[in-house]
Chain A
Amino acid sequence: MRRCDVLIAGIGGQGTITLGTLLKLAALRAGIEVTGAERRGGAQREGPVTSNVRYRVPETGQERAADPAPFSGLIPQGGAHLVIALEPLEAVRCLPWMNPNTVVVAETAVRVPTAVRLGAAAYPPVDRLWAMIRQVTPHLHPVGLESLSKERFGGLRQVNVIALGLAAAVGDLPVDDDALLETVRERLPGFDANRDAFALGRAAATR
């Protein structure tokens, strides 16, 4: 049984949960067991949101057990294979789930919390944030997802699909591009732009 645990983190309104749902639906399409809990903020924006995506892939030839042992919705600390963070600070908040082999994909654009806006706290330099992550894992891929999306598509709508392409390129996911793209086609409007966005994310990995 191969496992793959993906932790997604962002702030309310960025589509963290949608991204998790896409990764899970792709698994269903590929016949892979999947589960994972979410920490939702309120209905409002700006609070931290996380989504756990946990895959269990049967080894080739292995049948799906009739009564598989339940696997929990939470990734244990130190257990994430891949972290997708839609904001730098939120990437660092995922540290407890990282280990030296964890691959981290992170947005570089900062969303300033209210405390910083009011002058009550400071936002550390982004390079300092990356150094915190590199203390644990060297496999960090910081990419300006929002600016790529604004540049190419004139808005933020494609950010998550760009992130998905990037994750597919570096994350060693058990779901392949076809399953991911088919899921995107089924769930999100504007497939032509999304296919480009996915390719853009994939290409960003090698830049």
Chain B
Amino acid sequence: MNPLASPGAGTRILAMGNEAVARGALEAGLGYFSTYPGTPASEVGTVLQGVRDAFPSLYAEISTNEHVAALGALGASWAGVRSMVTMKHVGMNVAAEPLHFAGYTGVKGGLVVVVGADPGATSSTGEQDDRWYSLHTHLPILEPSDIQEAKEMTCRAFGLSETYDLPVVVNAPSKLCHNIGSLTLGALPAGPPARGRFEPDPVRYLNLFHLAVENHGRCLANLERLRADVGRLGLNRVRPGPGRVGVITSGLHYAYVLEALEVLGLDDVPVFKVGLSYPLDPHGVAAFLGSVARAVVVEELEGFLEFQLKRYAYDAGVRTPVVGKDLFPATGELGIDEVTDGLAEALGRPVPAARRAGADAWNTVAGELPPRQGAFCPGCPHRATNYALLRAAGRKVVYAGDIGCYTLSVLPPFRVSDWVTCMNCGTGSGQAIAQVTDQSVVALVGDSTFFHSGVPSLLNAVQNGADLLLLILDNRWVAMTGHQPSPTTDRLLDGTRRRAVDLVGVVKSLGVGWVRRAGAFDVVGLENRIRDALAQRGVRVLVVEGECALQSERRRAAVPPDAETHVAIDPERCQRCHRCYRDLACPAIREEPGPRGDDVYVIDEALCQRCGVCEALCPNTAITRARIRRRAAP
């Protein structure tokens, strides 16, 4: 059994921050779950999808997008069911409209919104701090500081939501979502959650005219109730110390601060740990500020705590100097070392020199090292598509790329994406560029991104007569975020068939006149298809089909095929034209010293996925494939 479904209260297991969040929700009696995947929060959904056998009354879906997911969770909450919706930070933008109404209507069943933040944008196109949303959604925010707290706070958030009649946000940055460590389980509820029942409540739910104004008032009153209670809820705590300089911090940074103080050899610094970062406890922070001569606020990004606490200090007449954003940068991730350096400066205590040996050495050699970026996996259909697209369309067209694994096409050798912002940025902005220029625009979109937000833009292009070629890269999965099923997933990893959406049918139904399909791995045929499309005008859609290579590899591991294929480059035929090595740049093709002393290209069969693309594109027929049937077991 999945240990996260284990009833054993007190059991210690190894869990990821995201898994701890999921477990916390199960311990709270979660009845409804919705999500649209997004790094770093995706695994919350993976867990809750995976434990449905053990929790048959849990409803858990992967929604079409975050807007749909948030509306769903709100509806389930109105029906009295404890509900949770999770998303990555930028998903909040898509969910923002429903979440601005959630405070107006209030909740019946506790409603928890989990946001995976990504300071440093290590797997995102932005690093926005969603906590600022609460200044106008008025949703309270909990910030766990470690894996155990991620579970405890998520579990508790449901009750807080019901008590204060507001959805509650749990904000977890990537370094917590992807922190794996020991977790002590709590008890699961005795029985399954009851079925919900929706009771109409016209005052709350019909936000028309003066009712909307009244609901706005009730939302603010609920928030004030919570603000008045915060000090008694035990969500914030003070680690006392006789020092004159105090530190205020929240979430993960609490652990960083404690560890930094240890590195600096300081054990007298008082620390105020914020657990509920919206609304801040006005009296708590004012009292803490009043007790020290100077305060340092340790937080990431643009200074959400500092912004609030300076207001409360002003109201309380406390004039203690506060440093925060003048010490720590407003951009990028604030890790343990940045916190240590900042506190060293603020507290006048240098970082011990012994800690610096490695970093100093690094600074002298870093310039000699080549950078390393991600690349499409060996056998990835997107690599083949990029190769064919570049051959057919060259460098003269505008490339309207989008978000998904295929975003890697921004990198050399392909560089076929001229901008990357939010999901659907390709079709969305590309169709307008086509309207106001004489340039040829080629847009790319993945299957999941197309269904997430691409459909209205494509319809818009059709209705307004744009000149646009759209390639829908249907790799059958939401690959980028960890291979969740997409609407076009037709076969699971164990081989079972699944009913998939008819993508070509959907596109046709939008009124697109020119719709074709092509196989990604047949690079020559694909190149020709793209040439055909480029010769036409109007909205054209080419659906490029080829399953994500990682997923087909996993399926082969689960259900081994009955034949083995071997691929090799014949050094006698190879003319070193570099097409496979540089233009396709498959990582399974390597350069090695050959027997005659010159370099030769070889295929590393341990990495090769036998996609056949290099063989198809080699102009010298130097790449050969041989199929060997496995002997049947006796």
Tell me the A residues contacting B by CB distance below 8 Å: 11-13, 20-21, 24-25, 27-28, 33-48, 54, 69-79, 89-90, 92-93, 95-100, 102, 111-124, 128, 132, 135-136, 150, 155-156
Contact = CB atoms under 8 A, between A and B. Distances in A.
Interface string B177-219: 0111110000000000000000000000000000000000000
| For the complex of A and B, 9 pairs with smallest distance between CB atoms | A35-B181, A47-B374, A78-B355, A121-B370, A72-B255, A46-B375, A98-B358, A73-B179, A95-B362
Contacts of A121: 370-371
Contacts of B147: 35
A34 B483 CA distance: 28
A99 B175 contact: no
Interface stretch (B376-384, B502-510, B535-543): B376-384
Interface of B: 12-14, 39, 122-123, 145-147, 149, 175-176, 178-182, 252, 254-256, 258-260, 263, 335-337, 340, 354-359, 361-362, 365, 368-378, 380, 405, 408, 411-413, 479-483, 550, 581-582, 585, 587, 590-591, 606
Contacts of A117: 581-582, 585, 591
A124 B147 CA distance: 40
B185 to A, nearest CB: 13
A89 B372 CA distance: 9
Nearest to B340: A76
A7 B378 CA distance: 27
B359 A95 contact: yes
Contact of B405 (A11, A36, A43): A43
B606 A38 contact: no
Given A24-B181, A71-B255, A74-B175, A114 B375 contact: yes
Contacts of A25: 14
B145 A78 contact: no
B340 A44 contact: no
Contacts of B358: 77-78, 95-99, 102, 136
Given A21-B180, A36-B181, A78 B357 contact: yes
Given A73-B252, A73-B255, A76-B263, 12 more contacts: A35-B179, A35-B180, A46-B373, A46-B587, A72-B252, A72-B255, A72-B258, A76-B340, A79-B355, A100-B357, A115-B370, A124-B369
A122 B369 CA distance: 8
Contact of B146 (A20, A70, A120, A128): A70
Contact of B258 (A27, A45, A69, A77): A69
B372 A47 contact: yes
Contacts of B479: 43-44
